[in-house]
């Protein structure tokens, strides 16, 4: 029996075999994303959008709202979640009962994990080590070790689990059970259900606030949102919204909830302090699971029926962009774009100073920032030829037996800083002599070790003569 018919409102079910009664409506769930450090928000995030119809996940550059990659996955991808470090995207393939693991660096699938029947939504633990999938066709939650991509546990829950969300500390998972009108509370240490909470009719989406104190549940058939107190696991408020809420997202500060109302093509904006709707925003036809940019400024709403994405400005609660995206965009999640890297390129040059009075070689130790971001500090160490000592060091350089160590302050991208020192020719052996410079420390982390070393070789002809290329 297929579970896909339960993933969509009744207007689309003629395309699929029935799983639930004609009045049963679809379900979805969102995982609570950790609030990123403000310093990490240096580049526009990438939105990963699951398309139910063409079996792909699209990577969307939100700086330009253009698709930068289309990634084939399994059958009927219905949910996406991003690992906390942004390195992986997990797509729930409802039709093939699997999860596709996408490497965000290459936007390719690196693994496919078989899970329970009909996975819909996913959640990943705060440390990124465990993935949870709500399996609508098996009435279970699969527990996946993300290091081995193997299922390590299976947890029975209520009827037709669809949505799943974790508390910020990862100790509990909340699962919305579409056919049971309940939410199951899972202790993730023991992987057992410790409480069952009655909510509205056909709950299909669930989200936990960033502070972990409340879970918001979208109830499609009762057209409202239930608010669960996670300390007592009781419903403390019910918020009327639009017709058929099918997606739910929370602002990073937890002050707003956005309910996507599939049947009236709107988004209800909820003030979570008062649990009242403060605005209603018209979007495209048939909005499904939404997500908020990590900086909280925009809500991205995929509209499955017209194949578009609506972008809502959270300050004005107006749609600022709408664009075509695919045949059936269903779910979206964000990964922060990689921060611009600061990359130290090390270079060593030598120049002879010859004459009958104390001839010497001058070495220049260069730290060049070839990355896009600024270097805040760096340390380079030069290894001297056997028996050599260094004199006339630049400020910030020190010497010990056989080495010179130079400390560098801030280096802007595209610029270089030089430090120099001298080696007396009389201390060098005849023949080739080499000085090698190496980056030994830098901040931020240097992503490219290939250019962390440079060297200069001179040929000593006599105590008065040397040549350097």
pLDDT per residue as tens digits for the range 4-14 = 445 555 433 32
**Domains observed in the chain:** 4-335 (2.130.10.10), 344-467 (2.60.40.740)
Instruction: Reduce the DSSP state of residue 229 to 3 states and report it.
Output: strand
Q: What is the pLDDT of residue 340?
A: 64
Distance CA(394)–CA(375), nearest Å, equals 20
The pLDDT confidence band at residue 128, using thresholds 50, 70 and 90, is: very high
pTM recorded for the entire structure: 0.71
Residue 16 in this model has a pLDDT that exceeds 70: no
Residue 406 in this model has a pLDDT that exceeds 80: yes
Q: What is the pLDDT of residue 354?
A: 80
Residue 233 in this model has a pLDDT that exceeds 70: yes
211-234: average pLDDT:
98
Q: What is the pLDDT of residue 85?
A: 87
Q: Is 398 exposed, middle or buried (0-12, 13-18, 19+ CB in 10 A)?
A: exposed
Helix, strand, coil shares of the chain, percent, nearest 5, are: 5, 55, 45
Strand partners, 69: 59
Where residue 189 falls (left for φ over 0; alpha for ψ -120 to 50; beta otherwise) is alpha
The pLDDT confidence band at residue 21, using thresholds 50, 70 and 90, is: very low
Tens-digit pLDDT profile for residues 186-221: 999 999 999 999 999 999 999 999 999 999 999 999
**What percent of the chain has a predicted confidence (pLDDT) above 90?**
82
Residues 446 and 452 sit within 8 Å (Cβ to Cβ): yes
Q: What is the pLDDT of residue 19?
A: 31
Q: What is the pLDDT of residue 38?
A: 30
Tens-digit pLDDT profile for residues 144-169: 999 999 999 999 999 999 999 999 99
Tens-digit pLDDT profile for residues 303-338: 999 999 999 999 999 999 999 999 999 999 999 765
The pLDDT confidence band at residue 44, using thresholds 50, 70 and 90, is: confident
The pLDDT confidence band at residue 230, using thresholds 50, 70 and 90, is: very high
Q: What is the pLDDT of residue 356?
A: 65
Q: What is the pLDDT of residue 9?
A: 56
The pLDDT confidence band at residue 371, using thresholds 50, 70 and 90, is: confident
DSSP 183-211: EEEEETTTTEEEEEEE-SSSEEEEEE-TT
Of 66-80, 175-189, 335-349, the poorest mean pLDDT is in: 335-349
Q: What is the pLDDT of residue 338?
A: 57
Q: What is the pLDDT of residue 304?
A: 97
Residue 357 in this model has a pLDDT that exceeds 80: no
């Amino acid at each position: 029996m297929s579970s896909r018919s339960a993933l969509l409102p009744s207007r689309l079910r003629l395309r699929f075999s029935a799983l639930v009664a004609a009045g049963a409506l679809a379900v979805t769930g969102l995982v609570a994303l950790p609030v990123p450090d403000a310093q990490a928000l240096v580049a526009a995030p990438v939105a990963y959008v699951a398309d139910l119809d063409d079996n792909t996940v699209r990577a969307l550059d939100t700086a330009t709202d253009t698709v930068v990659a289309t990634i084939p996955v399994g059958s009927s991808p219905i949910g996406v979640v991003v690992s906390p470090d942004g390195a992986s995207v997990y797509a729930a393939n409802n039709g093939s009962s699997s999860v596709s693991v996408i490497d965000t660096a290459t936007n390719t699938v690196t693994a496919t994990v078989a899970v329970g029947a009909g996975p819909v939504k996913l959640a990943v633990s705060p440390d990124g080590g465990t993935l949870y999938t709500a399996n609508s066709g098996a009435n279970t939650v699969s527990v996946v070790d993300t290091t081995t991509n193997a299922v390590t546990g299976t947890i029975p829950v209520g009827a037709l689990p669809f949505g799943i969300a974790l508390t910020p500390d990862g100790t509990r998972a909340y699962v919305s059970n579409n056919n049971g009108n309940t939410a199951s509370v899972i202790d993730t240490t023991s992987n057992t259900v410790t409480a069952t909470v009655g909510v509205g009719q056909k709950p299909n989406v669930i989200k936990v606030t960033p502070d972990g104190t409340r879970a918001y549940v979208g109830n499609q058939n009762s057209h409202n949102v239930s608010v669960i107190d996670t300390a007592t696991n009781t419903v403390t408020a019910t918020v009327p919204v639009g017709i058929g809420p099918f997606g739910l997202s929370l602002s990073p500060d937890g002050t707003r909830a956005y309910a996507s109302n599939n049947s009236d093509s709107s988004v209800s904006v909820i003030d979570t302090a008062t649990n009242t709707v403060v605005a209603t925003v018209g979007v495209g036809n048939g909005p499904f699971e939404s997500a908020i940019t990590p900086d909280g400024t925009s809500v991205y709403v995929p509209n499955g029926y017209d194949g578009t994405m609506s972008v809502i400005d959270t300050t004005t609660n107006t749609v600022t962009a709408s664009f075509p995206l695919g045949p059936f965009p269903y779910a979206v999640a964000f990964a922060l774009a990689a921060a611009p890297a600061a990359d130290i390129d090390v270079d060593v040059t030598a120049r002879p100073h010859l004459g009958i009075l104390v001839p010497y070689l001058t070495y220049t130790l260069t730290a060049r920032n070839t990355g896009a971001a600024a270097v805040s500090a760096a340390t380079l160490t030069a290894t001297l030829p056997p028996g050599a000592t260094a004199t006339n060091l630049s400020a910030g350089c020190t010497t010990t037996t056989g080495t010179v160590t130079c400390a560098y302050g801030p280096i802007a991208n595209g610029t270089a800083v030089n430090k120099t020192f001298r080696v007396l020719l009389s201390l060098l052996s005849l023949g080739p002599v080499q000085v090698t410079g190496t980056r030994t420390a830098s901040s931020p982390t240097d992503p490219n070790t290939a250019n962390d070393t440079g060297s200069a070789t001179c040929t000593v002809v006599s105590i008065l003569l040397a040549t350097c290329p």
